[in-house]
A and B are shown apart, each in its own frame.
Chain A
């Protein structure tokens, strides 16, 4: 919704000029002839958009094996390439009664998988690809997966663990 509003605001000044001519209500003296029929680009310059969707699968750990979780994303850039920066509030760990190390992987819009071990890094950057379209109108095109390995989960005391990731996309 926020994205749509911003798109509208960006279009509005241009539409104000073009619409009178298209509707036939503008005089020739107000609107130079070459501007009326030419396609005017609504946006210019590199742009990127990011949207988060509900998680794609509810993974339940039964006490053995790794634990997985995933969230669907739309990562869009009108250049077709972007840099996704991931900042971990927990410094690369799920925080609770103790710390639980985990890894993340990103499958980008081109289907390329990027494996990332956060370790103690607060910030990592992934360069990914997306269709050269800055719109997230068609829903998710990428998936961010989190994996907590069994050996790490067994080390942890019973309890709730949390990490908050801030995702920032920049067009390249």
Chain B
């Protein structure tokens, strides 16, 4: 069995205070027998913010039938999650995936008992209907992502309870690598970081 542990790094960037000082253009009223008027300005600044949430662990259960299938040369799984961004009408952001570097493939799982590595591939997408939008590797920053890319509305909640998950991470371990590995449990951690543009 190959186990892939996927954990999220929540990146919430607060760039500036939201509420600035009000009454910058305040004017006072005058004493009057009828009415007295004044004005006050209230200013709110919403900073650029982005947040990832809802990531779940992924597990690949490798079976003999699967790795010997003539139709598939790789064992895949994926996890959908939520990205909130208030940058522009489209909710723009960048995404980066980090993890243990592999040898034959960009990432690697590790067998804690033997310290053996099992390399694998990672794709990411800002569209839950497109699992293979961008192939990525440790340190690579995927740019131009939008929370509206899949035709969804920009989330107005931090956990996408209004629109549902809008991004995904997809992993795949080649059958050739699985067959070359010794039996055991292999684990790894992916750190996914979303950032303001």
Q: Is the CB of A49 within 8 A of B31?
A: yes
Q: Is the CB of A167 within 8 A of B38?
A: yes
Least distance between B39 CB and chain A CB atoms (Å): 5
**Bound: A51/B30 CA distance, A:** 8
Which residues of the other chain, B, contact A165 by a CB distance below 8 angstroms? 39-42
Complex interface bits, A71-109 against B, C-beta within 8 A gives 1, otherwise 0: 100000000000000000000001010001010000000
CB of A122 to closest CB in B, whole Å: 14
The 8 Å CB contact of B31, one of A3, A100, A148, A160, is: A3
A154 with B86, Cβ < 8 A, contacts A63-B49, A161-B43, A161-B44 known: yes
Interface residues of B (CB under 8 A from A): 12, 14, 17-23, 25-49, 84, 86-89, 156-158
Most A CB atoms within 10 A — which of B32, B41, B86?
Answer: B32
Counting chain A residues whose Cβ lies within 8 A of the other chain, the interface size class is 35 or more
How many pairs, one residue from A and one from B, have CB atoms within 8 Å of each other in the complex? 152
In the complex, the answer to whether A52 meets B27 with C-beta atoms within 8 Å is yes
B197 CB → nearest A CB, Å: 10
Q: Are B86 and A61 in contact (CB under 8 A)?
A: no
**Contact (Cβ within 8 A) A166 B46:** no
Check if A46 is an interface residue, CB within 8 A of chain B: yes
Give complex CA distance A161, B42 in Å.
8
Contact of B34 with A170 in the complex, beta carbons under 8 Å: yes
Contact call A55/B22, Cβ cutoff below 8 A: yes
A157 CB to nearest chain B CB (Å): 5
Given contacts A154-B158, A159-B46, contact A146 B39 (CB under 8 A): no
Partner of A48, one of B21, B36, B45: B36
A164 vs chain B, min Cβ distance (A): 5
* A54 and B23 within 8 A (CB): yes
Question: What does DSSP make chain B's interface, helix, strand, loop or mixed?
Answer: loop
Neighbouring A residues of B22 by C-beta, 8 Å? 55, 69-71, 146
Max chain B C-beta neighbours (<10 A), residue from A68, A70, A168 = A168
In the complex, are the beta carbons of B47 and A158 less than 8 A apart? Answer: yes
Q: Which residue of B28, B45, B86, B88 has the most chain A CB atoms within 10 A of its CB atom?
A: B28
CB distance from B45 to the nearest CB of A (A): 5
CA separation between A152 and B48, bound complex, in Å? 15
Bound together, the chains give a CA A67 to CA B49 distance in angstroms of 15
Q: Does A7 interact with chain B (Cβ within 8 Å)?
A: yes
A167 touches B157 (CB 8 A): no
Is A144 in contact with chain B by the CB < 8 A criterion? yes
Query: A164, B40: Cβ atoms under 8 Å?
Result: yes
Contact B28 A46 (CB under 8 A): no
Q: What are 30 A-to-B residue pairs whose CB atoms are below 8 Å? A: A45-B33, A48-B32, A50-B28, A50-B29, A52-B27, A54-B23, A55-B21, A55-B23, A59-B19, A60-B18, A61-B18, A63-B12, A63-B14, A63-B49, A67-B44, A70-B22, A71-B22, A71-B23, A146-B42, A151-B156, A158-B47, A158-B49, A161-B45, A162-B44, A164-B25, A165-B41, A166-B37, A166-B38, A167-B37, A169-B29
Query: A153 is contacted by which of B18, B34, B39, B88 (Cβ under 8 Å)?
Result: B18
Q: B39: which A residues are within 8 A, CB to CB?
A: 164-167
Q: Do A52 and B38 touch (CB < 8 A)? A: yes
The CA-CA distance from A160 to B175 in the complex, in Å, is 53
Q: Which 6 interchain pairs have the tightest Cβ spacing?
A: A61-B18, A50-B29, A60-B17, A155-B156, A158-B48, A168-B37
A48–B86 CB distance below 8 A: no
Which of B14, B36, B41, B89 makes the CB contact (< 8 A) with A49?
Answer: B36
